[in-house]
Amino acid sequence: MSVYAGGEEDTDCHECRSWPSALSFARAPYVLRGPASNLVHALKYEVWHEVAGFMAERAAESVSRYLPEAPGLVIPVPTTVTRERRRGYNQAALLARGVAAVIGTRIVEVLMREDERRSQIELEATERRTNVRGVFTAAETISEVRDRRVLLVDDVLTTGATACEAPSVLMECGARSVSLITFARALPEATSALS
């Protein structure tokens, strides 16, 4: 699998080596620092929806430029019901709508996410993987992914815990391939930027 961040191939990513083959490609146009980190924070925690369009356009450019074959569906990574009620929205869904509009495909929300035991922000990489194990389930409309190239959309790729778990559910439901696009990637030394 190829993982890219900030325009450069990350060929020595010790975190990515153990990712499942269910995820065939991952891309993030920005590293999570400086202005990119500020935009993620504004969208995720400050209800600044206006930045979602810009972020989605940048992510979509990476899809068009680097993904070998166009996806048939765009699927946002779901947040928990509790978090969506508290925020009033799912930031990944806002980004996914924008990405789908730019690349000319449709968005479907076929994944559901149960509450994790603890917030991902406070956990180490191995704890994050354990924390999200089994939290994604398929909605009744999951048949829409059968034999389709699926593009998952999220705001940030951190340790890859979500990137490992969600694609496996989609592949079990018959997706042809699953790729992931995020606006930014938190490199190992930059993961504290999410706090």
Give the Cα separation of 47 and 162 in Å (integer). Answer: 23
**Chain-centre distance for alpha carbon 25:** 11
Tens place of pLDDT for every residue, the chain, 195 residues?
444 445 545 444 566 666 777 888 888 999 999 999 999 999 999 999 999 999 999 999 988 888 878 899 999 999 988 889 999 999 999 999 999 999 999 999 999 988 765 565 666 666 666 666 778 888 876 788 999 999 999 999 988 888 888 998 999 999 999 999 999 999 865 444 443
Domain range summary for the chain, segments of one domain joined by +: 2-7+19-188
With 0-12 CB in 10 A as exposed, 13-18 as middle and 19+ as buried, what is 121? exposed
Q: At what angle do helices 34-45 and 91-103 cross, to 10 degrees?
A: 110
Give the Cα separation of 21 and 76 in Å (integer). Answer: 20
Residue type, 26: A
Q: At what angle do helices 51-66 and 34-45 cross, to 10 degrees?
A: 120
Q: What is the CATH number of domain 2-7+19-188?
A: 3.40.50.2020
